[in-house]
Amino acid sequence: MTDALGFSPDVTVRERGFTIGCVGAGMIMAECHLAAYDLAGFRVGAIASRTRGKAEAVAARWKIPVVHDTPEALIEDASIEIVDLAFPPDRQPALIRHALRQPHIRGILAQKPLALSLEEAKALRDEAQAAGKILSVNQNMRYDQSVRVLKEILDRGELGDTVIATIEMRAIPHWQGFLEDYDRLTLANMSVHHLDALRFLFGEPDSIFTAARQDPRTRFPHEDGIVVSTLRFLSGVLAVSMEDVWSGPREEGFESDIYIKWRVEGTDGVAQGTIGWPDGKPSTLTYASKRTTDGRWVTPAWDTHWFPHAFIGVMEQLQYALASGEPPALSVADNVRTMALVEAGYRSIRERRAVALSEIIV
């Protein structure tokens, strides 16, 4: 049906033997995590949420055998080996710490942002290490099909030395109600996808300059509605990440488009693509290389999606780490560095200057 041209847009499932307990019954759990786990044949043993009725409805849909009254009760269930959290970031650290105290819990998959501050994220990293448990963070954009294939192209050197990269988002997220109580919005909750993906692709940034303004559509107080960040990498790569959550007027009869696009230009080639989240279509990638395609545009194809298929890879890498003893692909230590990049972005907004990552202690 599709031709990926020898690339691997989706992971091969190497391990599915652990029992997962799911905390949360909102959209991201019901439509993404559990849909992915069903496709992959992962074993979900229990679910809990803030309201039992909502958890029961999701359990019935996905045939989850046990519903607990509270997240804490699920974490204490001795049959659960992996805790999968889809909970607000102000409540997530306490649940992580509760899981770290349980002898039967071997791994934890947390949401991003891991916490509301870099200091809290660092503390959770250190506590997980002291407890001897794997804490992994759901940076699922690393498992988007176009991002995975782009990474393969870069690793093969098909584009030569990368010169400049851009990610351009013009899409309106449905902000969760709990964010109205926070003083951080787009950079921490939306840009974090793109900043982490740029680190995944190009290594550690040297500095970041971030500018922001309010989003006219978002009615609650906020500082960082629309965000543009410019990053310089130690490798010399220059990158720009833009999160436009306004994306023009949204009125009946007003014709406008939404999208997430990316482009990478190198000394020997160019790659560009789209992320399928806003329109529900598969992500796309096309590229041309002097080294491998004779300068012609080549387009690998697939029929899987970022949501929900990328979530297979996120949970698979944690299970494989537990089974093999190898470090997880999405380690909390690595995620702290993404959190540091977000923190540097907020400092840049406040101080209106480029912030070196060496200023942020990790």
Q: Which residues span the domain enclosing 130?
A: 19-140+314-325
DSSP states of 74-104 as a string? HHT-TT--EEEE---TTTHHHHHHHHHT-TT
**Do 162 and 231 fall into the same domain?**
yes
pLDDT tens, residue by residue, 255-288? 778 899 999 999 999 999 999 987 789 999 999 9
Q: Which residues pair with 46 in a beta bridge?
A: 21, 66
pLDDT > 50? residue 72: yes
Same-domain status, 287 and 319: no
Query: Would you say 166 and 260 are in contact if contact means Cβ atoms under 8 Å apart?
Result: no
Residue 67 and residue 190 in one domain: no
* Residue 98's CATH number: 3.40.50.720
CA distance 225 to 215: 5
Same domain assignment for residues 134 and 171: no
Same domain, 242 and 321: no
The answer on pLDDT for 1 being more than 50 is no
Q: Is residue 14 part of a domain?
A: no
pLDDT at 47 over 70: yes
Query: Tens digits of per-residue pLDDT, 79-130?
Result: 999 999 999 999 999 999 999 999 999 999 999 999 999 999 999 999 999 9
Mean pLDDT of the chain: 96
Task: Quote the pTM value.
Answer: 0.96
Same-domain status, 29 and 109: yes
What pLDDT was estimated at residue 251? 74
Decide: 49 and 80 in contact? Cβ < 8 Å: no
Provide the phi-psi class of 136: left if phi over 0, else alpha when psi is between -120 and 50, else beta. Answer: beta
- CB-CB contact of 13 with 40 (8 Å): yes
Same domain, 157 and 52: no
Same domain, 196 and 111: no
- Number of structural domains found in the chain: 2
